[in-house]
Amino acid sequence: MAQTSPRRTARRRPNWAPYALLTPAVAILLAALAYPVGWQLYTSTLKFGLAQQFGQAADFIGLSNYAELLSDPQIWAVVGRSLLFCLINATGTVTIGVALALLMQVVAKAVRIALQVGLLLAWAMPVVTAMTVWVWLFNWHFGLVNWFLTKLGLPFTNHNWLEQPSSFYAVATIIVVWMSVPFVAFSVYAGLTQVSTEVMEAAQLDGASGHRRFTQIVLPLIRPVLMIVLLLQIIWDLRVFTQIRLLQDAGAPASSTDLLGTYIYRLGVGSSNFGLAAAMSVFVLILTVLLSAPYVRSLMKEDKA
Amino acid sequence: MNASLTRSAVSAPPPTVRRWRPGRLLANLIAVLVALIWAFPVYWMINSSLLPNAVLVSTRPRLGPWGGSFDNYAAALASGSFFTSLKTSLIVTLTAVVACLLFAFCAALAISRYRFRGRTSFILAVLFIQMLPAEGLFIAQYKLMANLGLLNQAVGLAVLYTAAVVPFTVWMLRGFVAGVPADLEEAAMVDGCSRSGAFFRITFPLLAPGLVASGVYAFLQAWNEFTIALVIMQKEDARTLPLWLRGFIQASATRETDWGQVMAASTLVALPVIVFFLIVQGRLTSGLVAGAVKG
């Protein structure tokens, strides 16, 4: 339906109409995003530091910034950490989100509403607010988490969670997953409600186990939602910035806890090395495109189908 | 809040077979536990915001707001520019929402109602734009705004927010527009409606839920955004609410951090969004799915 009707209408309407309709969106995307990307590409080939910021001409140095990046072992450490963080957070978020969506289907109505309200509260929290609360919960001196763990008899009195990179990332993961699960859970749950109960009951009567019903009926039907949700999580978690930045604000050593977003920020705004920061941004952009290319391809296929 | 609860409950008919088995009981218990865990930080924020700092930094946490007051709120509101920031946030957010809905709606109409040269490239561009790392772009966006003289201006920030939200909104609205068959419009025209009449009487009302869902999405993104605002709005009187909160926390940290006041300030920033969100959530989730599932 979606495919045949546009073709029929297209013949009757003047063919400049779609272009006119696209103009405002394209204009603002060109101005606010495409121009910066172009600037980024251009600047990444320049020697652009503090001196150039104050008016000195920037020299064209070709791909030297990229060469400098690729030969710096610290960058590879940051890239490795970011990829690991992204994969753990994205899979963790989607797994928990799907589990909660399935849970919503089987529990009593009152319990489901309670669960939805709980998730909704977390979803609605502005990032900066949420981070403030979590930093307070994990406060090494007065935080509730340390108090609770100490109560359980564990040695967590005045434990500083942000000092060690490993526990820093553990805290960051808890926060990111807490923030992102509601979106996944609601999207998948809404997808699940479109799976007809008749089909499920028929499968049950035919003796299909719960596991088989899930993999053979539910999973294929909610695949489009899962794909989009997973793609978005990967994109969002790879460029996680605010959470890491605000945790660093709360007293973590920045150099050993930087991920891609905060690293670019420090290169550019911190050290005023805009050329290098721009090259790094282009690198991240390529990385994201590579990571998500398979998803985009299958989304495009669904568009044609 | 009640309205949204009933709506979400209605939109999801429970499975017809329902027996109380140990497994089901366990599932219910887990669900309640998860609900409590997810809501807890919000509870803890409000609880802490009502207690004096002396209580908060004692060795035994007080688990409920007993003996609490609104003093922290008074202090947070008194110290500086909350209302200026509220105004900036409102202007930026509303401008971005209106512009984004208008632009994205037109674009969605174009790609779902017409086949034209460049259509596939536009869809691809929209998908890829969502992947642009905002943190990699803010330096360039800062330069752009500086050149245009729009630093510390609500308009500049609103333009950047609109551009950031338009791609996802196009994607979402496209599902809705595709869901309204063009035949319906044509039938109305056969019955004597004008083209615009057919559009505004038939198609537009059917798209309302999609517009609401996209509008809410845009609202939340703009209201909660932190990174771009941090770079573009550096002047103190140009701050949006998230920046005001960060400034408040930093100011508090130069003395001994007053956690009660910090939590009260956090609650002030979060409360409007939470209330708004609880009201519209039913429409938002159904909108997300319609956008994602329908081709």
Task: Encode pLDDT of A230-260 as tens digits.
Answer: 888 888 888 888 899 889 988 888 888 899 8
pLDDT at A103 over 90: yes
The secondary element (H helix, E strand) that includes residue A60 is strand A59-60
Q: Give the model's confidence band at A83: pLDDT under 50 very low, under 70 low, under 90 confident, else very high.
A: very high
* CB-based contact A193 B130, cutoff 8 Å: no
Q: Which of B66-75, B93-102, B192-201 has the highest mean pLDDT?
A: B93-102
Partner residue opposite B134 with nearest CB, options A18, A239, A268: A239
Domain ranges of chain A: 84-304
State how far the Cα of B149 lies from the Cα of B145, in Å rounded to an integer. Answer: 6
Give which of B135, B98, B141 is closest to A261, Cα–Cα.
B135
Q: Which residues of B touch A191 (CB under 8 A)?
A: 289, 292-293
The residue-averaged pLDDT of B223-242 equals 90
- According to DSSP, residue A251 is labeled T
Of A115-124, A212-221, B160-169, the least confident? A212-221
Looking at residue A303, what is its pLDDT? 65
Judged by CB atoms closer than 8 Å, whether chains meet at A260 and B42 is answered as no
List of chain B residues whose C-beta atoms are within 8 Å of the C-beta of residue A265: 135, 138
With CA atoms as reference, report the closest residue to A94 among A304, A305, A295: A295
Here the tokens at position A301 are: 């296929």
Cα distances (angstroms) measured from residue A149 to each of B32, B249, B251: 22, 26, 30
Q: How far apart are CA A190 and CA A185, in angstroms?
A: 8
* Cα first-last separation, chain A: 11
Look up the ipTM and state it. Answer: 0.84
The architecture of the domain spanning A84-304 is Orthogonal Bundle (1.10)
Bridge partner list, A47: A59
Q: Looking at B21-30, B192-201, B219-228, which range is the least confident one?
A: B192-201
The enclosing H or E element of A46 equals: strand A46-47
At residue A47, the 3 state secondary structure works out as strand
Most confident of A12-26, A38-52, A266-280, B70-84: B70-84
CB contact under 8 A, A25 and B166: yes
Q: Are strands A46-47 and A59-60 parallel, antiparallel or unpaired?
A: antiparallel
At residue B160 the predicted structure's pLDDT band, cuts being 50, 70 and 90, is: very high
Query: What does the mean pLDDT of chain A come to?
Result: 85
Smallest Cβ–Cβ distance between B103 and the set A24, A119, A238 belongs to A24
- Domains annotated for chain B, with CATH where assigned, are 21-69 (no CATH), 80-293 (1.10.3720.10)
In whole angstroms, give the CA distance from residue B132 to residue A282.
9
What are the tens digits of pLDDT across the range B99-153? 999 999 999 989 888 888 888 888 888 877 777 766 668 778 888 898 899 999 9
Lookup: tokens for B142: 């800062």
Copy the structure tokens of residue B291.
């956008």
* Radius of gyration for chain B, computed over Cα atoms and rounded to the nearest angstrom: 23
Can you say whether the dihedral through the CA atoms of B263, B266, B268, B274 is positive or negative? negative
Mean pLDDT of the region A219-231? 82
- At A264, the amino acid letter reads I
pLDDT of B40 = 96
Helices (H), chain A: 4-12, 17-29, 35-43, 50-53, 64-70, 73-106, 109-124, 127-137, 144-151, 165-192, 197-205, 210-213, 219-238, 242-249, 254-257, 260-265, 274-304
Distance CA B120, CA B124 (A): 6
Q: Give the integer Cα–Cα distance in Å for A234 and A292.
A: 8
A132 has pLDDT over 60:
yes
Interface of A with B in 46-105 (CB under 8 A): 100, 103-105
Are B107 and A25 an interchain contact pair (Cβ–Cβ within 8 Å)? yes
